[in-house]
Amino acid sequence: MKCLGELAEAITNVGFSMYFNYEKEEGSMSQYFAFQWHITEECDQRCKHCYIFAENACKKLDAMTWDEMQKVVENAEEFCVTYGRRPYFYITGGDPILHPNFWDLMELLKEKKIPFTILGNPFHLTDENLKRLKDCGCDKYQLSIDGLKETHDWFRKPGSFDETLEKLGMIRKAGITAVVMTTVSDVNIKEVPGIIDTVVKNKADVFAFARYVPTSDEKSTGVSPQEYRELLAACDKKYKEYKNNPDCVTIFNRKDHLWTLYRYEIGDFKIPETAKEGMIYGGCHCGNCHITILPTGEVYACRRVADSKVGNVFEDRLKDLWVKQVEDYRDYRKFSKCSKCKLLAWCRGCPAVAKGTYGDFYAEDPQCWADVDGDMRA
């Protein structure tokens, strides 16, 4: 199995479809590399499924200094020069807008013409600062809706649901793509179809959902493989109905990689005849096209994967971590179930959920229903 980190040639291979394309001024194409960057842990909410407080509810909240933030940008730029990529930052927290140097960072990214998405809360958004974000190059602003009103406010805090919906319109008015993300668990799985209707009604530009990753205190999402497949089927039906509705502006991002399995089963995805054996074309991005940087400088292969620390951005070169420590997350032959599946190169489920459930990154996805001893055998 060819791993992206084995050689620089593999890393810069444009045949890997999980990268984002962009057009250079001279007209040639290159690709983005995604850095999920947590600049602070300060937040107005204490969400029940938040990573920050899952292991330590009384932890000290960390935040980078302005000097440290500039070093992160330099390190990321060096990485991208080495591997022929362009940096794309997903700026988050906590709520990143609460960082005292948030606007300094925005101006720096504007100066360097580095595009970015903000993953944050609705509470401090105004027409004025959204306009400023747009001017600085903000591409998307992602908010969360984790249930219908009662459930969402229970997860997050009273009033959060209504304010989130209100701010979607303001984000779009500023010319920024308004994204809604839902974290699915047994608590809200029955409400996801209703959430879809709500975000469409409120004209979110993009909607997606991902599964809750169990923590040390809770070792299950509480959702069976069959229940999850039924959810995908119900959502797929809604998505297709809305696609034919001219009043619907929402794009539905099938983010969870088990969508590939479902779409393969119903005939919406076919294995390309040109696919080469031993190549990875899609699926889980961990170790392939993104890394996470925490406020402490710790670098994770994926924020959703517990204990996936591979280094520290203030002590290590990201370009070195990518071909050394991150390689531990690219041994596709180790996947206990996925390695036997014909969709290995396009799916692999969610190793973060597997790690949270079983303590093993390469364990089987607990919501995967594929029969790898039967019709899905490679």
Please compute Rg for the chain using Cα positions: 20
3-state secondary structure of 116: strand
Token look-up 């596709």 returns 332
Q: Which residues of 57-84 are buried (b: 16+ CB within 10 A; e: fewer)?
A: eeeeebbbeeebbeebbebbbebbebbe
Distance CA 88, CA 32 (A): 6
Q: Both tokens of residue 260?
A: 């590939």
DSSP per residue, 165-209: HHHHHHHHHTT-EEEEEEEE-TTTGGGHHHHHHHHHHTT-SEEEE
Give me the pLDDT at residue 216, please.
58
Distance CA 133, CA 82 (A): 29
CB 117 within 8 A of CB 89: yes
- This prediction has a pTM of 0.89
Distance CA 220, CA 354 (A): 10
- 298-300 vs 290-293, strand pairing mode: antiparallel
Distance CA 261, CA 263 (A): 6
CB 130 within 8 A of CB 170: yes
Give me the pLDDT at residue 19, please.
32
Question: Per residue of the chain (378 residues), what is the pLDDT tens digit?
Answer: 444 333 333 333 322 323 333 333 434 335 899 999 999 988 776 655 666 655 555 567 889 999 999 999 999 999 999 999 999 999 998 899 999 999 999 999 999 999 999 999 999 999 999 999 999 999 999 999 999 999 999 988 899 999 999 999 999 999 999 999 999 999 999 999 999 999 999 999 999 999 999 875 556 678 999 999 999 999 999 999 999 999 999 999 999 999 999 999 999 999 999 999 889 999 999 998 999 999 999 999 999 998 999 999 999 999 999 999 999 999 999 999 999 999 999 999 999 999 999 999 999 999 999 999 999 999
Give me the pLDDT at residue 53, please.
59
Distance CA 2, CA 332 (A): 9
Give me the pLDDT at residue 52, please.
62
| Residue 277: exposure state from Cβ atoms within 10 A (0-12, 13-18, ≥19) | exposed
Distance CA 183, CA 145 (A): 8
